[in-house]
Amino acid sequence: DLGVSRMPGQGTVRILAFAEGGALRIDVEDDAGAFDEGRRSREGLGLRIVQKRLASLFGPGAGPEIHCEPGSLTRMTIRVPLEGALVE
């Protein structure tokens, strides 16, 4: 749930992917700004699993980062190293 479903009216979800500093950067963001850092620490099992999985596959720098501006924006960023990646 990206928070958009709880918004009155319409919300927007954007997915961006681009190369940055030798890594693939993937941003998923919404305009709900509903991410609750306190809730993350209590119920963040999903994020911890994603962190561990990405770290095991790509190293410690590949985990998710979350940025929230309450009531305005929530963005999750994942970076995956491009070195050794298969490019088609």
CA 52 to chain centre: 14
Average pLDDT of the residues of the chain: 79
Cβ–Cβ < 8 Å for 82, 19: yes
In this prediction, residue 88 carries a pLDDT of 57
Please report the pLDDT score of residue 2 as a whole number.
54
Tens digits of per-residue pLDDT, 42-77?
Answer: 556 788 888 888 888 888 778 888 888 887 888 999
Task: Locate the DSSP E strands across 1-88.
Answer: 13-20, 23-30, 64-69, 73-81
What tokens appear for 83 in the block?
Answer: 């070195």
Give the CATH architecture of domain 4-81. Answer: 2-Layer Sandwich (3.30)
Residue boundaries of the structural domains of the chain: 4-81
